[in-house]
Amino acid sequence: MHTHTDSTACDDLAGAARILSAAQHLFAEKGFAAVSMHEIAQHAGVSKSNVFHHFRSKDELYLAVLGAACTSHREQLVPLLSGDEPFGVRLQRIMHADLEFMFAEPERAQLVLREITGTKPDDAVQPAPALLRDNAAALVAQMRIAQQNGEIRAEIDPAAVALLFLAANKFYFLTRNLIRHFPDVDFADDHGRYVEKIADLILHGVLPQEGVPK
Amino acid sequence: MHTHTDSTACDDLAGAARILSAAQHLFAEKGFAAVSMHEIAQHAGVSKSNVFHHFRSKDELYLAVLGAACTSHREQLVPLLSGDEPFGVRLQRIMHADLEFMFAEPERAQLVLREITGTKPDDAVQPAPALLRDNAAALVAQMRIAQQNGEIRAEIDPAAVALLFLAANKFYFLTRNLIRHFPDVDFADDHGRYVEKIADLILHGVLPQEGVPK
DNA sequence: GTCTATAATCAGATAGAC
DNA sequence: GTCTATCTGATTATAGAC
């Protein structure tokens, strides 16, 4: 009566979806090499052979998981970039949306970032690096437009702004479990406060403005 | 005639040092789980059993490698922090030194950063997290002093500046092999240019200074 | 699609000779 | 300190029944 199989237990997912979900969870937490197919099968509530039935190899399963993570990340930044608010407001909105997106699906974000930060010299056309490249390019393009509109200083390198923005957000996400315990940090659990403080720094810099406006 | 053993081949190192070197290389490149003791033994030019003779387990070997990496990192930042140059110059000097240090021993830096960015909620007292904690604390303390001297704005959170600084440098290092191929980026192989651009951003912000000095 | 059973290999780790 | 040989269990993957 159902479309096909009814699931045997646990989640409302069935078959391959259950396996993908378990694999995403484990790969994100422990990394590719530290996870076994046995472990994935257990978490998915199926037999190990069933995992091999749906995915021909461990690599294929990992690529399926990573591909899904990249796909869900791919178009998230672009529609947020434009807008007619002042640059400062737009920057805060983009930072906040990027954070919300990562914290909403931390496992997928972790997978993508692990691929990006552990990349060796040669593998430049993998899905995760390509994702970063595209998002960074869109970000830089937007910075350039803002610069043409006189919203940011003419001497600035748009790529440097994009790097600073991405670095701050990704580093904040990656070290979230560490800086929570740092006595000096009061924004580890309050993304809004974090965005306000970092955006203020990027916008106005740290120097007192009494100096020469140049 | 020698102090003790003379090495059989390859490097000028002998025994445990050869093993440590090979292990550092492999762990940094592929991560703990993806490296086997067999592989380490091969790269070190010794038998697998010999590795187990010097290090009781794979975990112990990894901790030895990681510990060495953390020790060499530990005190590098602190002596650079103070100085009587203007804040802007000091910031550039510290950023540059931190980068030089990471690029001089990229394997050790990679190991430490992998531990920091892959940390799970609970393990807060490991060597690498403790290292980040100490370095960040020293950085924040220095920012506070600069703030008391009126070198940076009073409204600023010193921890936010420290996060921005660390994030920019570490992200730049971690993605060095990727951003090298980005068409918008002209500072991927020129640390000096990178430091200049990022330091300028952190110091002066992106906004045109025609606005209110407030 | 799902399972049990099993193959073939490789992992970490140990024993004991030299 | 270094080696060869070995143990034990885990790993990826396959065969074939249901």
The tens digit of pLDDT for each residue in A7-30 reads 434 456 788 999 999 999 999 999
Tell me the shortest Cα–Cα distance from B126 to chain A, in angstroms: 11
Question: Distance (Å, rounded) from C-alpha B152 to C-alpha A31?
Answer: 41
User: How many Å from the CA of B43 to C1' of D15?
Assistant: 38
pLDDT of residue B122: 73
Q: What is the mean pLDDT of residues B117-135?
A: 87
Contact A143, A152 (CB under 8 A): yes
Chain A residue nearest residue B212, CA to CA = A209
> Testing the interface with A: which of B92, B110, B143, B178 to mutate, by most A Cβ within 10 A?
B178
Mark the nucleotides of strand D covered by protein, meaning any atom under 7 Å from a CB: 1-5, 10-16
With a 7 Å cutoff on the CB, does A5 touch strand C?
Answer: yes
User: How many Å from the CA of A29 to C1' of C13?
Assistant: 27
Q: What is the mean pLDDT of residues B77-88?
A: 92
Tell me the shortest Cα–Cα distance from A46 to chain B, in angstroms: 25
With a 7 Å cutoff on the CB, does A39 touch strand D?
Answer: yes
pLDDT of residue B2: 41
Whether A206 and B201 lie within 8 Å, measured CB to CB: no
User: How many Å from the CA of B111 to C1' of D11?
Assistant: 26
pLDDT beyond 50 at A213 = no
What rounded mean pLDDT belongs to chain B? Answer: 91
Confidence band of A156 (pLDDT split at 50, 70, 90) = very high
Look up residue B133 and give its two tokens: 């904690």
Whether A117 and B119 lie within 8 Å, measured CB to CB: no
What string of H, E and C letters represents the secondary structure of chain B?
CCCCCCCCCCCCCCCHHHHHHHHHHHHHHHCCCCCCHHHHHHHHCCCHHHHHHHCCCHHHHHHHHHHHHHHHHHCCCHHHHCCCCCHHHHHHHHHHHHHHHHHHCHHHHHHHHHHHHCCCCCCCCCHHHHHHHHHHHHHHHHHHHHHHCCCCCCCCCHHHHHHHHHHHHHHHHHCHHHHCCCCCCCCCCCHHHHHHHHHHHHHHCCCCCCCCCC
Q: What is the mean pLDDT of residues B113-132?
A: 88
Question: Distance (Å, rounded) from C-alpha A200 to C-alpha A206?
Answer: 9
pLDDT of residue B212: 44
With a 7 Å cutoff on the CB, does A36 touch strand C?
Answer: no
pLDDT beyond 60 at B89 = yes
pLDDT beyond 70 at B66 = yes
Write out pLDDT tens, residues A98-137: 999 999 999 999 999 999 999 887 766 789 999 999 999 9
Confidence band of B27 (pLDDT split at 50, 70, 90) = very high
Domains of chain B from N-terminus onward: 16-66 (1.10.10.60), 75-204 (1.10.357.10)
pLDDT beyond 60 at B210 = no
Mark the nucleotides of strand C covered by protein, meaning any atom under 7 Å from a CB: 1-5, 10-16
With a 7 Å cutoff on the CB, does B56 touch strand C?
Answer: yes
Cβ of A79 under 8 Å from any chain B Cβ? no
Maximum Cα–Cα distance for chain A, whole Å? 76
pLDDT of residue A11: 54
Nearest in space to A30 (alpha carbons), one of A106, A127, A111: A111
Question: C-alpha angle A115/B198/B206, rounded to 5°?
Answer: 110
Confidence band of B14 (pLDDT split at 50, 70, 90) = confident
Tell me the shortest Cα–Cα distance from A40 to chain B, in angstroms: 16
Contact B107, B24 (CB under 8 A): yes
What rounded mean pLDDT belongs to chain A? Answer: 91
pLDDT of residue A14: 80
User: How many Å from the CA of B42 to C1' of C9?
Assistant: 18
Interface of A with B in 38-67 (CB under 8 A): none
% of residues, chain B, pLDDT over 70: 91
Confidence band of B121 (pLDDT split at 50, 70, 90) = confident
pLDDT of residue B211: 47
Whether A133 and B178 lie within 8 Å, measured CB to CB: yes
Confidence band of B12 (pLDDT split at 50, 70, 90) = low
Question: Distance (Å, rounded) from C-alpha A128 to C-alpha B180?
Answer: 16
Tell me the shortest Cα–Cα distance from B50 to chain A, in angstroms: 25
Confidence band of B124 (pLDDT split at 50, 70, 90) = low
Whether B207 and A119 lie within 8 Å, measured CB to CB: no
Question: Distance (Å, rounded) from C-alpha A169 to C-alpha A99?
Answer: 7
Nearest residue, CB atoms, A171 vs list B167, B178, B183: B167
For the CA atoms of A148, A151, A141, A83, the dihedral, rounded to the nearest 10 degrees, stands at: -120
Q: Which residue has the higher pLDDT, B167 or B82?
A: B167
pLDDT beyond 90 at B170 = yes
